[in-house]
């Protein structure tokens, strides 16, 4: 497997906030929990192996959140990888509370956000969080209060860069007036491009765009569909081509496919070696419109 060492580096690089250089194909930890993103993983040892293998294969950008578990994935990261490699960038999130499996509730009160930042720092074992993302804007709390508290903690040295998740262009612009926003994490994939305007704004302003749910392929992957056909031509899996499409779509996109198994991780990262031609990229892009 020597050819797989540092395979993630073949996805190219992006510098978050003009400071944190990462390989574009990263890893998301949400699946390293129990059902409903609740509780401990079914196989904790495999979860540790997945994280360690990701690093071995060149991943140096990991996305996590205190809400995953809650308080499960950050501790797994620390157990598996601490002390961290100097080039590893860990992005985490605050702003949600959990009341049970698949239950997510935004809480953006400044004191809560501060508490969660401190818990993230402790669970990850870091003094400064590389990239702290607001998991969701709380509609009950002024945005200025939420971003303002994160800005204070950045000035205190507890946060290096600030990001947003599941936001509109208007909300991003409003937040950017308070403090520089280094990243946006919105749903975006081959089959769902409702955040196209946001992606274009991020491109224009060199903001990292982190698509969550990056592997969704919808009808495109069905037998005989355009994704299935191209996958066979590349001797690859539809999910790998979906990731290759994201990587080609924009240089600011940082896909973070998640998995709880080493073999699936290796499959996902192999997407870094797939190069779609302009014609193949257009075929897949146009196919989405055709299926709607």
Which of 27, 68, 84, 188 is flagged as catalytic? 68
The yes-or-no answer on residue 68 being catalytic is: yes
Q: Is the dihedral of CA 175, 176, 179, 181 positive or negative?
A: positive
Query: Of 248, 238, 208, nearest to 11 (Cα)?
Result: 248
Distances (CA, A) of 178 to 20, 135, 167, 275: 21, 17, 16, 39
Query: Of 206, 142, 201, 148, nearest to 177 (Cα)?
Result: 148
Rounded (5°) CA angle 281-284-289: 130
Structure tokens given for 165: 């998740």
Q: What residues act catalytically?
A: 68
């Amino acid at each position: 497997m020597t050819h797989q060492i540092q395979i993630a580096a073949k996805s190219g690089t992006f510098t978050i906030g003009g400071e944190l250089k990462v390989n574009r194909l990263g890893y998301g930890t949400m699946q390293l929990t129990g059902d409903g993103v609740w509780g401990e993983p079914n196989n904790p040892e495999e979860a540790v192996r997945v994280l360690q293998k990701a690093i071995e294969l060149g991943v140096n950008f990991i996305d996590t959140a205190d809400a995953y578990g809650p308080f499960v994935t950050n501790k797994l990261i620390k157990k598996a990888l601490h002390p961290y490699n100097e080039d590893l960038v860990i992005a985490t999130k605050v702003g949600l509370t959990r009341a049970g499996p698949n239950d997510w509730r935004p809480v953006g009160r400044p004191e809560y956000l501060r508490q969660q930042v401190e818990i993230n720092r402790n669970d990850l074992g870091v003094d400064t969080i590389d990239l702290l993302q607001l998991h969701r804007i709380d509609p009950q709390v002024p945005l200025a209060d939420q971003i303002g508290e994160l800005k204070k903690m950045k000035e205190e040295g507890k946060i290096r860069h600030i990001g947003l998740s599941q936001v509109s262009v208007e909300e991003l612009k409003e937040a950017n007036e308070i403090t520089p926003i280094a990243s946006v994490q919105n749903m975006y994939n081959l089959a769902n491009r409702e955040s196209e305007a946001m992606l274009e704004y991020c491109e224009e302003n060199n903001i990292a765009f982190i698509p969550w749910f990056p592997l969704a392929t919808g009808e495109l992957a069905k037998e005989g569909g355009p994704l299935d056909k191209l996958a066979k031509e590349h001797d690859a899996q539809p999910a790998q081509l979906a990731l290759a499409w994201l990587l080609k779509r924009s240089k600011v996109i940082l896909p973070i496919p998640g998995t709880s198994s080493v073999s699936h991780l290796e499959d996902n990262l192999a997407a870094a070696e797939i190069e779609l031609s302009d014609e193949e990229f257009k075929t897949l892009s146009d196919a989405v419109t055709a299926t709607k």
